[in-house]
Chain A
Amino acid sequence: MANLSGPSSTEADAAAMRAFLGALLPPLMGLMLLVGIWHLATMNGGSIPTPGKTWEAAAKLFADPFYRNGPNDQGIGWNILASLQRVAIGFGIAALVGIPAGFILGRFATMASMVNPIISLLRPVSPLAWLPIGLLVFKKADPAATWTIFICSIWPMIMNTAQGVMRVPQDYLNVARVLNLSEWKIVTRILFPSVLPYMLTGIRLSIGTAWLVIVAAEMLTGGVGIGFWVWDEWNNLKVEHIIIAIFVIGIVGLILEQTLLLLARRLHTEA
């Protein structure tokens, strides 16, 4: 038995390795293609730096990401963390408000028909239109940026949660009615588990939106943060840094999204 299982398991390992490489190779090729085109387009000079120059600048930048030279000159690590913190706070409040609101809208049809027109009206509004309102109310840049994150990331959570609640299969609700379950049991044993996948989709979309919005908001409010940093580097005409920032913003967004997808898949297989 041991003799048999030994080689067959390494064989399985090899197969898994091949599958892994097979999945990795095409994206890597795509990335190389992108860098290649970038290089060809910029090697004859111009205002956009070449990949090589950008790489050098990035190496220097990430050699010391956490330095502090006063409030307006901090390492890129601090800037990223500052932005993430704003996103976390704004998104956190949005989740605390949006998810229960979604449950209420999904469960009570009259509430939904009262509020839905308002949501349809407000949802397409650009984040930047909300910023002055925040500045006006909070009188400070930081809470105004958080407010903007809040208002822009709340809609996907409300709408997806409400959708999920409305789509709870009638069969499950009939079970609840026959058993005459308490409202608490209905929420915890039936509504919440069946809404969870929809809720996670809402959260994922919300975080994506929040991360999109923060860069724009910080450009306007200043202080510390990746958006402000981009603006600052533009004023210093350090174009390499702007390109680096674009990559950094993209990668952080990707990590946020993948983490939530992973979480959703974990919960799904457990259910």
Chain B
Amino acid sequence: MEKFVKIENVGMSFDTRKGKFVALRDIDLTIKQGEFVSLIGHSGCGKSTLLNLIAGLTLPSSGVLLCANREIAGPGPERAVVFQNHSLLPWLTCFENVHLAVERVFAANENKAQIKERTTKVLELVGLAHALHKYPGEISGGMKQRVGIARALAMEPKVLLMDEPFGALDALTRARLQDELMKICDATRATTVMVTHDVDEAVLLSDRIVMMTNGPAAAIGEILAVDLPRPRERLTLAHDPQYMDYRSAVIEFLYAKQSHPLAA
């Protein structure tokens, strides 16, 4: 498959009051079209920093990032982001929040009715048909996160970037949304990069898991390819020895090779 996102020798440092802070160094990674990649690592290692670089929200201090062979020079609707805290605009309804994105991407080629239909469809896809005209303040955290996902999916992005999309949710809602996300990704073949803290989530969803070393100056420690057939079923996988092996490989990396920075 085509190499779609290329991260070449990227380093990122921030200017802080105490001088230069090197967050990332020597990041090399290529992501194929349609691939699902997870970024996992301890808190503060630089996962969000790397995701923001792919999104183009920040630019690297060194190295270069490419998407579809073009340098990433800034954010754009072809790389949709699901933000860690959902970032819905509180003065717009769920419908209007998604509509804002759909309109931006499709207004050039489609009429108003088509754009409305797209908006409604994608909200139905995440199971929010009944909450179209509610404001973010009137719905639960899980529903807000789903609107955030719907907004990103609605743009039919080439790359879907998610920063701990399910981090703030309870275990039941999280499992449901993971299943939904797997279905959506299988259906749309979207290239996806997801930041997560959750080992099971990473193994269940990913084609590859990128494990990052502790910061400062974090780098890619290991990359684990997850060769489990799709569609994946969480109940059968729970007893799958191969799944268990992947799971313990990630845990081994996180807790033995990169013991928690606070414990060190």
Please list the residues of chain A having a beta carbon within 8 angstroms of any beta carbon in chain B.
171-172, 174-175, 177-181, 185, 189-190, 193-194, 271
Q: A178 — which chain B residues lie within 8 A by C-beta?
A: 55, 57, 75-77, 79-81
| B52-72 near A? 1/0 per residue, CB < 8 Å | 000101000000000000000
Contact B83 A175 (CB under 8 A): yes
| Segment of B86-94, B207-215, B222-230 in the binding face | B86-94
Q: A271 — which chain B residues lie within 8 A by C-beta?
A: 90-91
Known contacts A171-B83, A175-B83, A185-B100: does B89 contact A180 (CB below 8 Å)?
A: no
Contact B77 A180 (CB under 8 A): yes
Known contacts A179-B104, A185-B100: does B77 contact A172 (CB below 8 Å)?
A: no
Q: Out of A177, A181, A185, A193, name the residue touching B91 (CB < 8 Å).
A: A193
Known contacts A185-B100, A189-B92, A189-B100: does B57 contact A177 (CB below 8 Å)?
A: yes
Q: How far is the CB of A151 from chain B (nearest CB, A)?
A: 33
Contact B87 A175 (CB under 8 A): yes
Across the interface, name the chain B residue whose C-beta is closest to A192: B91
Q: How far is the CB of A141 from chain B (nearest CB, A)?
A: 44
Q: CA–CA, A233 to B18, complex, Å?
A: 66
Contact B87 A171 (CB under 8 A): yes
Across the interface, name the chain B residue whose C-beta is closest to A267: B91
State the interface size on chain B (CB cutoff 8 A).
Answer: 20
B162 within 8 A of A: no
Q: CA–CA, A174 to B52, complex, Å?
A: 10
B49 within 8 A of A: no
Q: A175 — which chain B residues lie within 8 A by C-beta?
A: 83, 87, 89
B101 within 8 A of A: yes
Q: CA–CA, A194 to B89, complex, Å?
A: 9
Q: Known pairs A178-B55, A179-B104. 18 more at Cβ < 8 A?
A: A171-B85, A172-B89, A174-B57, A174-B75, A174-B83, A175-B83, A175-B89, A177-B57, A178-B57, A178-B77, A178-B81, A179-B100, A179-B101, A179-B155, A180-B75, A185-B100, A189-B89, A271-B91
Contact A193 B89 (CB under 8 A): yes
Q: How far is the CB of A146 from chain B (nearest CB, A)?
A: 35
Report whether over half of chain B's contact residues are helix, strand or loop; otherwise say mixed. Answer: loop
Q: B87 — which chain A residues lie within 8 A by C-beta?
A: 171-172, 174-175
Q: List 19 A-B contacts (CB under 8 A).
A: A172-B87, A174-B87, A175-B89, A177-B75, A178-B55, A178-B57, A178-B75, A178-B76, A178-B79, A178-B80, A178-B81, A179-B101, A179-B104, A181-B104, A185-B100, A189-B89, A193-B89, A193-B91, A194-B91
Q: CA–CA, A179 to B74, complex, Å?
A: 11
Q: How far is the CB of B243 from chain A (nearest CB, A)?
A: 34
Known contacts A171-B83, A174-B81: does B91 contact A180 (CB below 8 Å)?
A: no
Q: CA–CA, A194 to B92, complex, Å?
A: 11
Residue among A172, A175, A177, A180 with the highest chain B CB neighbour number at 10 A:
A175
Q: CA–CA, A17 to B90, complex, Å?
A: 34
Q: Out of B57, B79, B100, name the residue touching A181 (CB < 8 Å).
A: B100
Q: CA–CA, A83 to B171, complex, Å?
A: 63
Q: CA–CA, A172 to B79, complex, Å?
A: 17
Contact B77 A179 (CB under 8 A): yes
Q: B80 — which chain A residues lie within 8 A by C-beta?
A: 178
Q: B81 — which chain A residues lie within 8 A by C-beta?
A: 174, 178
Q: How far is the CB of A165 from chain B (nearest CB, A)?
A: 16
Q: CA–CA, A194 to B90, complex, Å?
A: 9
Q: CA–CA, A166 to B155, complex, Å?
A: 28
Q: How far is the CB of B154 from chain A (nearest CB, A)?
A: 11
Across the interface, name the chain A residue whose C-beta is closest to B137: A271
Q: Which 6 A-B pairs have the closest CB atoms?
A: A193-B91, A171-B87, A271-B91, A177-B75, A178-B75, A179-B104
Q: CA–CA, A207 to B74, complex, Å?
A: 43
Across the interface, name the chain A residue whose C-beta is closest to B161: A178
Q: A180 — which chain B residues lie within 8 A by C-beta?
A: 75-77, 104
Across the interface, name the chain A residue whose C-beta is closest to B157: A178
Q: CA–CA, A180 to B101, complex, Å?
A: 9
Q: CA–CA, A194 to B104, complex, Å?
A: 20
| B93-115 near A? 1/0 per residue, CB < 8 Å | 00000001100100000000000
Q: CA–CA, A193 to B75, complex, Å?
A: 23
Residue among A171, A177, A178, A190 with the highest chain B CB neighbour number at 10 A:
A178
Q: How far is the CB of B55 from chain A (nearest CB, A)?
A: 7
Contact A177 B89 (CB under 8 A): no
Q: How far is the CB of B58 from chain A (nearest CB, A)?
A: 10
Q: CA–CA, A178 to B157, complex, Å?
A: 11
Q: B100 — which chain A residues lie within 8 A by C-beta?
A: 179, 181, 185, 189
Q: How far is the CB of B205 from chain A (nearest CB, A)?
A: 22
Q: CA–CA, A116 to B90, complex, Å?
A: 31
Q: CA–CA, A271 to B75, complex, Å?
A: 28
Q: CA–CA, A77 to B187, complex, Å?
A: 72
